[in-house]
Chains A and B, each alone.
Chain A
Amino acid sequence: MSIRHHLTDQLLMAYAAGDLPEAFNLVVATHVSLCDDCRARLASFEAVGGAMLEMADVAAMSDDSLAACMDRIDGLSQANARRPLKRAGIFPAPLADYVGGGPGKVKWRNLGMGVKQAILPTGKDASARLLYIPGGQAVPDHGHRGLELTLVLQGAFRDEKDRFGPGDVEIADEAMEHTPVAEEGEVCICLAATDAPLRFNAIIPRLAQPFLRI
């Protein structure tokens, strides 16, 4: 997979520090699962957290805390150890965990013109959803208020300037005016997250702009 559009340092640091809403964490974790470059950059930001922990103050633990911790460990059975999550088809492990499997497990809702979406269960401070966009159809508009991340899992979409293929993440904010359209061919499946309130009237598919269909 040749990824051309990566996460920003700001997003990776916020993810490392634990400052992102759950829906954005899901996009970051899914992209990092596909991208060694962002995995390495993320690790460098996590190393800052490690250095801070090492330098930081200490708060004394109570006298019996080590013994209590050992008791807890003895009580942990092997069955309690969560097995590593597995990739399911085009869904990397963190996304497969939210869906409960691969693309076949998604509970799609039709939005019209062949476009479908499925909202994923996350905290309310931001929302995440999967989008299913047949070739030639416009990517549903999410309103572009706040920050919006769109990660391609299959197929590709284009806007006026760029192409986004599998593994690429598009980062958009209020200032961005654009009209992404799914490429002809394989259905485009994306994971999108936004911290703008969901506006249901804004996610009805639009007709693709004519200039992109030439």
Chain B
Amino acid sequence: MQADEVDTDWAALVLRVRDHQDRAAFAALFRHFAPRVKAFLMKSGADATLAEECAQDVMATLWQKANLFDPSRASVATWVFTIARNRRIDALRKARRPEPEELPWGPEPEPDQAEVLEAQQDTERLGVALARLPEKQRALIERAFYGDLSHSEIAAETGLPLGTIKSRIRLALERLRQQMG
């Protein structure tokens, strides 16, 4: 990672793409995420040409669906991961990917900044926790996410601190349902 990227506020860049079709913001997102998506797809079995092609698709989807990104629920890395995963299923497995329906109220126009910060920091915290896992356990999680395991081979116990993320999102959903319902 380049030094000037460490503190980049990726969520703010996505919102600039959403609100102003800001091409400079998009270029910064592309430079950071496209090479990671390409590497992810190659580890999932795509050759370099297909992976490059799909990474462009993924980034184009980011532009197109920026209005669906909810920075209080997911980091940009997590959101890009879900788009890349769906593209992988589509391109490599030639299968449809049914997705849960969007929440009826959509992303809040003015999300709570503390919640946004929490969600963006989850990625970093999980990265640290992943790096601390025993090698064998981390390798198993990686294989699962590269699409290399069947569901029966997956161990649901990851050893990662997912409970706090779940609780935070659960509370946010509850609050929104009360407000919007």
Contacts and interface: CB of A to CB of B under 8 A. Distances in A.
Interface of A: 8-14, 16-22, 24-26, 29-30, 32-33, 36-37, 39-62, 65-66, 68-70, 72-73, 76, 80-81, 84-87, 92-95, 97-98, 122-123, 147
Interface residues of B, number: 82
B39 A25 contact: no
Interface string B19-42: 000010011001101111111101
Which are the 8 A-B pairs with shortest beta-carbon distances? A50-B78, A93-B101, A9-B156, A51-B126, A58-B35, A14-B151, A50-B77, A49-B81
Contacts of A93: 100-102
Contacts of A123: 93, 95-96
Given A46-B81, A54-B77, A94-B101, A70 B154 contact: no
B139 to A, nearest CB: 12
Contact of A40 (B80, B124, B142, B166): B166
A26 B99 CA distance: 8
Interface of B: 23, 26-27, 30-31, 33-40, 42-43, 48, 51-52, 55-57, 59-60, 63-65, 68, 73-75, 77-82, 84-86, 88-89, 93, 95-102, 122-124, 126-127, 130-131, 141-142, 144-145, 147, 149-152, 154-158, 160, 162-163, 165-167, 169-170, 173-174, 177
A185 B88 CA distance: 44
Given A17-B154, A43-B73, A48 B141 contact: yes
B95 A50 contact: no
A44 B155 CA distance: 15
Given A39-B100, A66-B31, A49 B160 contact: no
Contacts of B93: 123
Contacts of A69: 30, 34, 56, 59-60
Contacts of B56: 65, 68-69, 72
Given A36-B177, A39-B173, A85-B101, A62 B151 contact: no
Contact of A94 (B30, B98, B157): B98
Given A18-B88, A50-B81, A53-B77, A72 B60 contact: yes
Contact of A54 (B31, B73, B127, B147): B127
B150 A53 contact: no
Contacts of B68: 84
Given A9-B156, A9-B157, A123-B93, 14 more contacts: A13-B154, A18-B147, A22-B95, A30-B100, A43-B78, A44-B165, A46-B78, A47-B78, A47-B165, A50-B79, A54-B77, A55-B130, A58-B35, A66-B34
Nearest to B48: A59
B34 A65 contact: yes
